[in-house]
Amino acid sequence: MERVSQSPTDPALNQNPYPFYDRIRPLGLLVWWEDYNMPVAASQPAVSALLRDRRFGRENPTPPIIPDHQKPFYAIEAHSMLELEPPRHTRLRGLVLRAFTSRRIKELAPEIEALSYQLIDAFPNEPFDLLTGFAQQLPVIIIARLLGVPEEKAPDLLRWSNAMVRMYMAARTRADEEAAAQAAQDFSTYLAEYVKARRAAPADDLITQLIAAEEDGERLTTDELITTCILLLNAGHEATVHTLGNGVKTALQTGLRPDDPDLFAEEVLRFDPPLHMFTRYAMEDLDAFGHHFKKGEQVGLLLGAANRDPEVYADPNRFDPARELLPHSSFGSGLHFCVGAPLARLELSIALKTLFDRCPDLALAEDPEYATSYHFHGLTRLMVTR
């Protein structure tokens, strides 16, 4: 196996990781990334195959010892369907999908459009940060409304979410870990009280529907319910913020606009996705792509690299909303395909179309920069003029 060295916190990599992907993709279906001390897959066929290979999973079959200061965070993760395998994953996902239905998501379309208009109406006339003024606000408010959490809690939800997702980013610090643990505790405490209130007084919201969801006599426990709400917010919100920012940046730099909002959103997701690495554990001793994995060893799936594989996508480094619509890896695949994908797609298509319809003269006020967090690929800010 070829070995490569590339710091994931290198500013050059984070500003544009795609030349690195182009360099390692021809080296083999698996390449050893020394900085992560594990093999990674960068081609679309290898990433897709590993996402579907049930011999690999998200749940570590040889769990490590968790330091005391991280335990509050991992107490939440212990009930997350994102981190579990069957049979618990099957049960949790089935119950969540009974409440998080496609019909309920489609019904949000007018609300997403109205909120987009409301946020755009508040844009100032001088240069402003579109991330804080639009991209961060829309998804957190929508998920708060969907869950039934008071909208005024959105700043707290945003703060807790930002702290918790830092646990998945490159070069996290002890301070990041402590902040994530505190956020997990605060988030859990708040939701526990809210769930208790909803059990006593049901309402027309997702939390009430999750409480009521039942399959074969099984229901979500309170801990599972709290973790599911946190997962829906953290996973859905963080990725959608980055995708909106990346999409607006790309549109402004290329001059292309969302004539077909759905196709435009799909090309944004393919071209510059919000999540660039997702890992899997070998659930047993096994051989894959010429490499022997021992039980518990990890493999990195480079989603951003897979989305620009020239063997699959014609002229992959060109943003082309009119290109042939082919599957991409931004929402994963197989058992852990993103539950929130329909909501994310709806938010992206409506928000991007509304933004450019209402602000046809939107322009960059300064060169955007990406954060040096690697796993999550998103901008630090997006200064624009209208």
Angle between helices 154-165 and 174-200 (to 10 degrees): 140
Q: Where are the alpha helices (DSSP H) in the chain?
A: 11-15, 18-24, 44-52, 71-77, 88-99, 102-106, 109-121, 130, 137-147, 154-165, 174-200, 206-212, 222-254, 261-271, 303-306, 341-358
Pairing state between β 298-302 and 277-282: antiparallel
Query: Distance between alpha carbon 127 and the CA centroid of its chain, in Å?
Result: 28
pTM for the model stands at: 0.94
Q: Which residues contact 272 (CB under 8 A, 6 or more apart)?
A: 246, 247, 249, 250, 304, 377
- Predicted confidence pLDDT, tens digits, the chain (386 residues): 999 999 999 999 999 999 999 999 999 999 999 999 999 999 999 999 999 999 999 999 998 899 999 999 999 999 999 999 999 999 999 988 888 888 889 999 999 999 999 999 999 999 999 999 999 999 999 998 988 888 888 889 889 998 998 898 877 899 999 999 999 999 999 999 989 999 999 998 889 988 988 766 788 899 999 999 999 888 778 899 999 999 999 999 999 999 999 999 999 999 999 999 999 999 999 999 999 999 999 999 999 999 999 999 999 999 999 999 999 999 999 999 999 999 999 999 999 999 999 999 999 999 999 999 898 999 999 999 99
| Total count of domains within the chain | 1
Bridge-partner residues for 337, per DSSP?
Answer: none
Whether 236 and 117 have beta carbons less than 8 Å apart is answered as no
Task: Report the CATH number that the domain containing residue 363 is assigned in CATH.
Answer: 1.10.630.10
**Range of the structural domain that residue 262 is part of:** 3-385
